[in-house]
Copies of this chain bind each other. A is one copy, B any other.
Amino acid sequence: MVDMNVEIGGVRLANPVMPASGTFADGLDKAVDFERLGAMVIKTITRELRVGNALPRVCETPEGMLNSIGIPSKGMPYFHEETLPTYTRYSTPLVVSISAPTVDGFASLADEVSLPGVAAIEANISCPNLEEDGKAFANEAASAERATAAIRRRTSLPLWVKLSPNVTDIAEIARAVEAAGADALVVANTFLAMAVDIESQRPRLGSVTGGLSGPAIRPIVLRMTWQCARAVDVPIIGCGGIATAEDAIEYMLAGASAVQVGTVTFVHPTAMISVLEGIESYCLRRGYERVTDLVGALSVEEADETDMEWVDPLR
């Protein structure tokens, strides 16, 4: 028996496997027993009523997909009356992902969703910040920090902050968000990307650009996870291109305390369960008593880094 429990920034999870926001909804219960999940992370909600982006909203790319779903939102009354009761039926911890266009919007929405039955808040700060020219909060350490700090002041729930991978130095942003009071980091959201239909000579997505997800991005996000894990003390939840238990174990060895499974669920609806079972068998096979023993177990030899030693020019 492997102890699969993990503690993620104040929330105790029965195992480290959970869905990524926007790739999970109650319909999945047709194929997956939600009681087996480490947590349920629901699609980002906003206070505002929104219909989402223009169609087409998805397209296929090499081992990945683009999405420009946007955040179709039915508003807060719907959240209270429909969404919350749908998930509080399960004993699995519920993580509510929130987004807002302003720092105050984030703070007051966090306050509003700090309700019984909600185990943690995941702040999706990859959205455009209307107070700063529409640049995403997650793109700069300062704005990421401001949003985090404002949310922190308004909720006593565990606060997970989801970073964007579209940045030069994710470790710097991770440190800023940790300093502002995040209890855990989710690394990461999608890469801004695009695709073109050469016959119509138009973008394949109705909104021109969208987010790239799926196995294609895994090596990049894995690197970011490793960098963040070395930069901060709070737990990291790895998220990007995880399709199998092996992929999830890569993330955990690189420093993730838990993982989110997104796009692959669209292709293999029961992927989360096989990831979970595969992690457990790996632990059994390798003699780990606790899944937490995997976290950061990567052994990195001091690289001799010959190529970094720029020797004196020859002449």
Contact residues of A with B, CB < 8 Å? 46-54, 61-64, 66, 70-71, 75-77, 101, 105, 128, 130, 134, 139-140, 166-169, 191-196, 198, 201-203, 206-209, 212, 214-220, 222-223, 226, 241, 246, 249-250, 253-254, 282, 297-301, 303-308, 310-315
Q: What are 19 A-B contacts with C-beta separation under 8 Å?
A: A53-B303, A53-B305, A61-B218, A61-B219, A62-B218, A63-B64, A63-B216, A140-B168, A192-B223, A193-B222, A194-B222, A194-B254, A195-B219, A196-B254, A198-B246, A198-B282, A202-B301, A207-B307, A209-B223
Report the bound CA distance from A196 to B222 in whole Å: 9
Report the bound CA distance from A217 to B215 in whole Å: 11
Give the 9 A-B CB pairs with smallest separation, nearest first: A70-B307, A193-B219, A216-B216, A62-B215, A62-B63, A196-B250, A194-B223, A63-B63, A101-B310
Query: Do B54 and A313 touch across chains, with their CB atoms under 8 A apart?
Result: no
Report the bound CA distance from A46 to B202 in whole Å: 41
A313: chain B residues at CB < 8 Å are 47-48, 105
A162 → chain B, closest Cβ, in Å? 16
Report the bound CA distance from A153 to B168 in whole Å: 28
Query: Do A253 and B64 touch across chains, with their CB atoms under 8 A apart?
Result: no
A169: chain B residues at CB < 8 Å are 139
Partner of A168, one of B101, B166, B254: B166
A153 → chain B, closest Cβ, in Å? 19
Report the bound CA distance from A313 to B303 in whole Å: 53
Report the bound CA distance from A193 to B223 in whole Å: 5
Report the bound CA distance from A192 to B227 in whole Å: 11
Number of copies: 2
Report the bound CA distance from A167 to B217 in whole Å: 15
Partner of A201, one of B48, B193, B297: B297
Partner of A48, one of B207, B219, B314: B314
Query: Do B306 and A53 touch across chains, with their CB atoms under 8 A apart?
Result: yes
Query: Do A220 and B198 touch across chains, with their CB atoms under 8 A apart?
Result: no
A65 → chain B, closest Cβ, in Å? 9
A62: chain B residues at CB < 8 Å are 62-64, 214-216, 218, 241
A302 → chain B, closest Cβ, in Å? 10
Report the bound CA distance from A218 to B212 in whole Å: 10
Query: Do A191 and B220 touch across chains, with their CB atoms under 8 A apart?
Result: yes
Report the bound CA distance from A75 to B301 in whole Å: 29
Partner of A311, one of B48, B191, B219, B226: B48
Partner of A306, one of B50, B130, B298: B50
Partner of A128, one of B214, B297, B308: B308
**A253-B196, A254-B194 as given contacts; A207 in contact with B310, CB under 8 Å:** no
A241: chain B residues at CB < 8 Å are 62
**A64-B219, A75-B314, A168-B166 as given contacts; A300 in contact with B254, CB under 8 Å:** no
Report the bound CA distance from A303 to B134 in whole Å: 16
A46: chain B residues at CB < 8 Å are 310
